[in-house]
Amino acid sequence: MKEFFAMGGYALYVWGSFAMTALLMIVEPILLRRRKQAALARIRRIARLQQQR
């Protein structure tokens, strides 16, 4: 079992890559949701300004 986690001396690279990928898979949907909300808010703001004219 220890050899599995050591990955033949490449553990830092392997587990670091795994952790970075997992982190990005968690963060990406959060950032996309924020960007979508910001875009929708901007569209609503523009539509409101158009109606005031």
Q: List the domain boundaries for the chain.
A: 23-53
Alpha-carbon gap, residue 27 to 30, rounded angstroms: 5
Q: Give 3-32 pLDDT, tens digit per residue.
A: 887 888 888 999 999 999 999 999 999 999
Alpha-carbon gap, residue 31 to 7, rounded angstroms: 33
Full-model pTM: 0.70
**The pair of three-digit structure tokens given for residue 8, joined into one six-digit string:** 């033949």
7 contacts: CB under 8 Å, gap ≥ 6: 13, 14, 15
